[in-house]
Amino acid sequence: MKNIDDYQNKNILVLGAGMSGINASKLLKQLNANVWLNDANPLKSDAKEELEKIGVEVIDAKQSPKILDDYNFDLIVKNPGIFYDNELIKEAIKRNIPITVEVEIASQVSEAPIVGVTGSNGKTTVSTMINDILNEERTTGHSYVAGNIGVPASTVTTKATKDDDIVLELSSFMLVGIKTLHPHIAVLNNVFSNHLDYHKTRENYVNAKMRITENQDENDYFVVNFDNEEWRELSKRSKAKVVPFSYDAVSTDGAYVKDEQIFFKDEFVMNVDEIRVPGQQNVQNALAAIAVAKIMGKSNSAIKKALSTFGGVRHRVQYVLTADGRKFYNDSKATDIEATQVALRSFKDNVVLIAGGLDRGYTFEKLEKDFADHVKAITLFGETKDLLADTAKKAGVKNIKIVNNMKEAVDEAWAMSQEGDIVLLSPANASWDQYDTFEQRGDEFIQLVEQKTGRKEEN
């Protein structure tokens, strides 16, 4: 960990007591800052006691602008999920109090080089694939994965050395709050239209994603999906060396597929069918990871070993188990239409789909062709169930069941499926109408499938 004095004796408010907020508070105390932490809800007594022992003052009050009157803050470190139109944040901006995020501070103390990964879909899978490859055939150091994947960046940047590597999964919420974060290699996996309730416009969302490369220079690398013209154009905004990856072999200057084989430039790396996880999207994810690995000098044998044993990421087209000839997959992370499209296109067999969730004002016409091509039957619950049912009817899906909750959905999916079918949870919606997180939703699906089948999740 680098010893920096940027925060010494500064009065800093950490807003939000999730994992990133608690770890940001601890890191800032190590950097000799004066730290206050505030959350919309009271902290658990043990967490509060632990923070107060190291000198963090916990403010048990609503996130109100009044807090700014009671203290003289030099900086606010906010949870990435807190909107910028939050009343306290708006008042802080008005008072010219700088606002940042935990991953920014964590990156400033890192001795290890950073690989940053972003994208609307697949960034967790890409980050995990890269990390697995970097840890294959390694003789010194270790690769760590952190960030939006659920591990606060500060927990790894404080212990990593110059012999290690850090792979950071970076959400748009994180990136909009950075100023100095400088990945040596940055990955843009794709960009769709997500989180417009947060960013307000697609332009703002795209610009947030592109901040991953804004501090890079000609000594760095920007790995970009070239299978979309917009993303190719976005790559021109980077000062770094652009390294493309392409499933459609749009460019052969990086990682690409030709005749069911994967190449990096002119060098054969591995066969497509050696990638363990199914679907075109996972081949694209693997191409991004391969491009990073080759830049970092990893051997083809390390790449092949990691990707041929990679079993996927929990809640992301995750294989759960097989029972009576039916295969069950958990894709609870599919919180948007594009992710569900990708999941459906991963399977050639008949799919019995479970979908539905929070109504964000979207309509689902884009799913009509995928329903027609892949969905044998569908069971729907949540706020968007009726909208999705209309799309399924237009697509010609004959067997449509509307239910109230996940248990009923799993029961109906079992009844509508038969040997050889895929039962897939891929909601196409956020989980917040009935669940706190998509992880909670996926875990309940797995538990109910285990109960229904009498089998345990297969790892």
DSSP assignment, residue 44? Answer: P
Was 125 annotated as part of a binding site? yes
* Residues of the chain under the 50 pLDDT cut: none
Was 120 annotated as part of a binding site? yes
Was 121 annotated as part of a binding site? yes
Was 94 annotated as part of a binding site? no
Task: Print burial letters for 103-127: b (CB count within 10 Å at least 16), e (below 16).
Answer: bbbbbbbbebbbbbbbbbbbbbbbb
* Alpha carbon distance 52, 189 (integer Å): 41
* Strand 185-188 to 143-147 pairing: unpaired
**Topology classification of domain 103-309:** UDP-N-acetylmuramoyl-L-alanine:D-glutamate ligase (3.40.1190)
Looking at the chain, how many residues does it have? 459
Q: Write out the two tokens for 307.
A: 């990707």
CA distances from 121 to 242, 251, 255, 344, 422 (A): 20, 21, 19, 14, 22
Phi, psi values for residue 58, rounded to 5°: -90, 125
CA distances from 449 to 405, 408, 419 (A): 14, 11, 16
**Topology classification of domain 318-453:** Protein-Tyrosine Phosphatase; Chain A (3.90.190)
Q: Are 13 and 76 within 8 A, CB to CB?
A: yes
* Strand 11-15 to 75-78 pairing: parallel
Q: What pLDDT score was predicted for residue 41?
A: 84
Residue in this structure with the two tokens 């084989």, named with its chain if needed: 261
Determine how many CB atoms are found less than 10 A away from the CB of residue 416: 18
Q: pLDDT, tens digit, for every residue of 255-288?
A: 999 999 999 999 999 999 999 887 888 999 999 9
Residues 6+ apart with CB under 8 A from 220: 182, 183, 184, 185, 186, 213, 239, 240, 241
Any idea which architecture 11-100 has in CATH?
3-Layer(aba) Sandwich (3.40)
Q: What pLDDT score was predicted for residue 207?
A: 96
| DSSP per-residue codes, 54-104 | TTPEEE-S-S-THHHHHS--SEEEE-TTS-TTSHHHHHHHHTT--EE-HHH
Q: What pLDDT score was predicted for residue 68?
A: 94
Q: Where are the domains of the chain?
A: 11-100, 103-309, 318-453
Closest CA to 278 of 329, 223, 315, 326: 329
Q: Is residue 202 classed exposed, middle or buried when 0-12, 13-18 and 19+ CB atoms within 10 A define those classes?
A: middle
Q: What's this model's pTM, rounded to 2 decimal places?
A: 0.82
Dihedral angle of Cα 307, 311, 314, 320, to the nearest 10 degrees: 160
* Alpha carbon distance 67, 304 (integer Å): 54
Was 119 annotated as part of a binding site? yes
CA distances from 111 to 1, 106, 166, 218 (A): 6, 10, 10, 20
Was 357 annotated as part of a binding site? no
Was 123 annotated as part of a binding site? yes
Q: What pLDDT score was predicted for residue 363?
A: 92
Task: Print burial letters for 164-201: b (CB count within 10 Å at least 16), e (below 16).
Answer: bbbbbbbbbbbbbbbeebbbbbbbbbbbbebbeebbee
Q: What pLDDT score was predicted for residue 316?
A: 85
Residues 6+ apart with CB under 8 A from 357: 335, 382, 383, 384, 427, 428, 429, 430, 431, 432, 433, 434, 441
DSSP assignment, residue 434? Answer: T
